[in-house]
Amino acid sequence: MKILVGGAGGFIAGYLVKDLLAQGHEVIAADIKPAEQWYQTFDNAENYSDCDLGEKHHCYNLSKGVDRIYNLACNMGGMGFIQNNHALCMESVLIQAHMLMAARDNGVKEILYSSSACIYPQEIQSDIKDAVSQGLKEHTAYPANPEDGYGWEKLFSEILTHYYGEDFGIDSRVCRYHNVYGPYGTWRGGREKAPAAICRKVIEAKMSGKHEIEIWGDGEQTRSFMYIDDCVTGMDLMWSKGDSRPLNLGSDQMVSINQLVDIAENIGNIKLKRNYNLDAPQGVRGRNSDNEMIKQVLGWAPSITLEDGLEKTYAWIHDQMQNCSDSSGY
């Protein structure tokens, strides 16, 4: 099968490209970033760097003769980024719109869209107790009130994908990712997510000898975090067992940010003084994936524990920081 992966220079898509190549597929990999900034690259893929998929002609040219598209291209990052870049995040609707137009006109029959848990209404994520007792079920996306900017972009693109299926017969899959993490992910610079940020801060504290850590908010806000290997497995199963209904793709092992710090401290064998920054971006108060529907549809759900996944992530980030320190100073 010939497959186009949009956003291939990103974290999740890099693992996806590796998986697709291992399965024997022919992969066209495209990303707006220059080649040296791609998270992972593979010589046996057809790679296109500096390729802005927000420009329609790129989507049309790259999708000619393609059997399936995976669109993971968008402007995104951790909470600090998406809360301060609403317009930039919203511009990503152009990418999925152009991909769908190109798929229709070039005869591409299948497309997978990477959505997000940020599409869920903010008011049902305002109470930690609700997150503990209920989780986010797929049908609760409506009435809509997603996260500003990024959440609206994802929800709009979901709806557009659905209509292209209805009107033009494009078979689609929609994955609502819940906080994917792992080695090769962003770990500094402002776009990193909580697991990588916490690992980096714990490692910094050990390296510097200043045994303190800044936590955004009071640390009681909750999330679930999915290890990258589970994410790739889920995307594979979406095609073999799924259908066009959007599905949560996330772990249902919910933790508070304080508990996330506990796990990172245990891995690093250190205990830190916690300084809480109540003015920092925090996002919704409580969020967890409800996995009832994915179990029904796929007969599977993410199962790698946060403890196991974070240990691998911590070790990788430690190596990156050690290399930075050895070469040019961190």
Residues identified as active-site: 150
Tokens read off for 21:
């190549």
DSSP letters along 256-300, please?
Answer: EHHHHHHHHHHHHT---EEEEETTS----SB--B--HHHHHHHS-
CA distance 309 to 154: 26
CA distance 108 to 169: 10
CA distance 191 to 27: 27
Please state the φ and ψ torsions of residue 44, each to the nearest 5 degrees: -85, 5
Cα 324 to chain center, whole Å? 25
Region of 182 (left: φ > 0; alpha: ψ -120 to 50; beta: rest) is left
Sheet holding 110-116, edge to edge: 46-48, 26-30, 2-6, 68-71, 110-116, 171-177, 247-249
Tokens read off for 118:
């940020």
Longest dimension (CA), the chain: 61
| Of the candidates 91, 87, 102, the residue with the CA atom closest to the CA atom of residue 56 | 102
| Of the candidates 71, 74, 70, the residue with the CA atom closest to the CA atom of residue 25 | 70
